Amino acid sequence: MHPLPSPLPNEVLALCNALPLKPAPVELRGQYIHLKPLDLARDGEMLYAISTGAPITLRGLETPAFDAEELIWRWLGGIPFPTYAEFEAYMAAQVQTSNALPMTVFDNELGIPVGTASFMSNSPANLKIELGNIWYTPPVQRSPVNTEATHLMLQHCFGLGYRRLEWKCNALNERSRRAAERMGFIFEGVQEAHFIVKGRSRDTAWYRILIDEWPQVARMLKQKLYVQE
């Protein structure tokens, strides 16, 4: 018979009752981007404009019309919404979720939204939380944006005392799986028939970073982001 784990320190257990179910609003700033709680009145129309597949011009460079279903929505719960009202309703539901805090990601140089990421599936009683509902407009998808946003969100959560940060995605979503591994998340396995999404069965790949792994992951992410070779 295996012995029980040692009891957690009182200061750790106290956080289980101290942290709110709805993550507290926060603003996070990095070298390339900053994040603010999603405000549809402020951000909604611009987020819609960069997510429909219409041509986009950023920093004087034009991205031609693109397949929004393939590059943004395929693995998410949404679709390339035909109207802003439908997009707004989809995003409003995320804002209203009791255990989630959607964040708008802003480009520092341009000062405009380039995508979203959420603190979600929050379980303060277990000191764990997930980063998810992540999408970026194609012009920034191969830039440091996702890495820095993830670094800032991880840093914030571990700073609050969370012990486990999760990343989950459709097991078929190779881009998301590569991103998780590139940013230091550890693959734990695939949960089969986890969800039904858009009328299809979804197997979910689970990844995580634990608090004792965070210092090494933080050094690796800072090296990727800020140390020039």
Q: How many CB atoms lie within 10 A of CB 150?
A: 22
Distance CA 146, CA 141 (A): 7
- Looking at residue 229, its pLDDT comes to 47
- Looking at residue 2, its pLDDT comes to 84
Q: Are 43 and 50 in contact (CB under 8 A)?
A: no
Residues in the chain with pLDDT values less than 70:
228-229
Q: Are 33 and 148 in contact (CB under 8 A)?
A: yes
- Looking at residue 46, its pLDDT comes to 97
Query: Could you tell me if residue 121 is left (phi over 0), alpha (psi between -120 and 50 degrees) or otherwise beta?
Result: left
Distance CA 104, CA 36 (A): 5
Torsion of CA 129, 28, 177, 67, to 10 degrees: 120
pLDDT by residue (tens digit) across 43-63?
999 999 999 999 998 877 788
- Looking at residue 114, its pLDDT comes to 97
Distance CA 158, CA 176 (A): 22
Q: What is the model's pTM?
A: 0.96
Burial class of 27 by CB neighbour count within 10 A (0 to 12, 13 to 18, 19+): exposed
Fold designation for 10-163? Aminopeptidase (3.40.630)
- Looking at residue 28, its pLDDT comes to 98
- Looking at residue 228, its pLDDT comes to 60
pLDDT by residue (tens digit) across 97-128?
999 999 999 999 999 999 999 999 999 999 99
Distance CA 209, CA 201 (A): 26
